[in-house]
Amino acid sequence: MKSTMSATPLTTRLIYDHGRTVHHRSLVTTYAADGSSTTLTYAKVAERADRLAVGLQRMGVGPGDVVGTYCWNHADHLAAYFAVPCMGAVLHTANVRLFPDQVAYVVNHAEDRLLIVDQALVDQLAPIADSLERVERFLVVGGDGAALGERAMPFEEVLAEPGAVPERLELDEGTAASICYTSGTTGDPRGVAYGHRSTFVHSLAQCATNAFGISQDDTIMLMVPMFHSNAWGLPYSGWMSGADFVMPQSTLDAASVARMFAERRPTFTAGVPTLFNDLLNHADPEPVDLSSLRVAVCGGSAVTGALIDAMRERGVPMLQGWGMTETSPLCALSHPPKHSPPEEDTFWRSKSGRASSAGIELRIVDDEGAELPWDGASVGEIEVRGPWVTTSYHGIDTPEKFDDGWLRTGDVGYGDAERFVQLTDRAKDVIKSGGEWISSLDLEDGLASHPDVLEVAVIGVADERWEERPLACLVLREGAPLDPAALAEHLAPQVARWWIPERWAALAEIPKTSVGKADKRALRDRYAAGEIEIVTPTHP
């Protein structure tokens, strides 16, 4: 028997049309660096999206062409999120935090024809403009982009007259709607092309109660950059549900975010641990009021129990999310299992999470590819597959990254009987000491709970006797001394005794990757160059 139901293609246009009609009154507020703000309705953002699409079509952009953005979070960037894929072209959100040669690489590799650029980023882009081989025009938001040369033109000049309606071409749900590149921490960034169907289904999943539960009653504080895995998919799921948006552009210092929280009272936000730690440590003139939040999603790097507890003390449940550019990125979430007692709340939320929704499958395999049991002890590489998980990279052949339909994540960990996974390391960051594994993430979690520790990153360094041992790199509270013996004593009840580092270092800051993670490769390079001063305990 065949289904009698409609075979309507699942596309970003369905998301767009639903939001601009049903939720036309919902709001998008963009903040400027001086603290002023501009608020547009969905209807107005949609009008600008339509005008942009008409302008792009007049400039010769057609199905399959790539239009890049080099922008922070604001309403016109959101308009591009819909204007470009809804006309059959492909949106490429270029990461403004990549090194210049990496930006040139991704823009050329994606074959961007046009690049929408914030005026505030023009000077940053100008030195590599000549190396952007295929870019015909730079469309500059908020200025004329003179430093980019004769290819620059104001964004407003591209917009057609109000009321202009773009040509509505039929969209194939299997074609690319957008492309995002990985952060390039272990080589050239790799492009992941998100399809119309996968974007639609991913957005539905984020709106589910067992995921983020986003609805029209939410106000989303969009702290995740819109160039990072499409802001974790939130522009699409938020628009689909009719949530209000607060767009901070690049202004994410604690004082500015505190003011936005006070003025807009967001109910939902997401970000990396560093952002939340900054907010919790801000108390000038008073602590940040986070009481409007119903949940805060944290990801990008391991979330410590100390951070989860600190947010709970402010009345905010923190939900850890684990995923990758390759998983769109929703993959695993740390909602505590049903009927778990309240005293176990932090325990479960500190885990990397379990499959976020039906269709996402996780497994753990050993070095030979054999599946390991979910016994809470067997450690191997985590693999994932699902309807919004990539099965290849754009334009390059990397069979070593895929295993018979499964994505090899490069993350090492174990699974338990509740089907939670717990990452213990990235495959490239694991520490093997005397033939046994040490989890840098567990060491970081334990040290982060010390009251003097603001940030921590643990790396493996060469050791004459044990082959490799951990080095703990710490950012301490102002005025706090580096006391390895006291830190080791604090750590002792939390990990195996032989894991405790003999090498310690106090740093002014932990270097970060373009997506806000601790850059352990940079730390290893600094250590190898003798640029990190090592301190050892004065007594056992």
Residue 505 identity: A
| 437, 466, 489, 502: the active-site residue | 437
| 47, 326, 381, 383: the active-site residue | 326
Q: Which domains does the chain show, CATH number per domain?
A: 12-195 (3.40.50.12780), 431-528 (3.30.300.30)
Q: Looking up tokens 């643990």, which residue turns up?
A: 458
* DSSP letter for each residue of 104-170: HHHHHHHTEEEEEEEGGGHHHHGGGGGG-TT--EEEEETS--GGGGGGEEEHHHHS--TT-------
Eight-state DSSP code of residue 429: T
pLDDT of residue 491: 93
Series of mean pLDDT values for 10-residue runs along the chain (540 residues)? 92 98 98 97 98 97 98 98 98 92 96 98 97 96 97 96 89 98 78 98 97 98 96 98 98 94 97 89 84 95 89 96 96 97 96 96 95 95 97 94 94 95 81 79 91 94 86 95 94 89 95 84 92 80
First to last CA, the chain: 74
Tell me which residue of 300, 228, 296, 270 sits closest to 77, measured CA to CA. 228
* DSSP letter for each residue of 7-26: -----HHHHHHHHHHHTTT-
Q: Is 391 annotated as catalytic?
A: no
Region for 249 from its dihedrals, namely left if φ exceeds 0, alpha if ψ lies in -120 to 50, beta otherwise: left
With beta carbons less than 8 A apart as the criterion, state whether 76 and 155 touch. yes
The dihedral sign for the CA sequence 160, 162, 167, 172: positive
**CA pair distance 273, 168, nearest whole angstrom:** 42
Q: Is 437 annotated as catalytic?
A: yes
| 21, 344, 432, 498: the active-site residue | 432
Eight-state DSSP code of residue 1: -
Eight-state DSSP code of residue 208: S
Q: How many CB atoms lie within 10 A of CB 89?
A: 25
| 30, 69, 182, 274: the active-site residue | 182
Q: List the beta bridge partners of residue 176.
A: 195
pLDDT of residue 148: 98
Q: Is 326 annotated as catalytic?
A: yes
Q: Is 232 annotated as catalytic?
A: no
Mark 244-258 as b/e (b = at least 16 C-beta within 10 Å).
Answer: bbbbbbbbbebebbb
pLDDT of residue 186: 57
**CA pair distance 538, 540, nearest whole angstrom:** 7
Rounded to the nearest 10°, the torsion over CA 25, 31, 35, 38 is -40
- CA distances in angstroms from 36 to 31, 83, 263, 460, listed in the order given: 6, 26, 11, 46
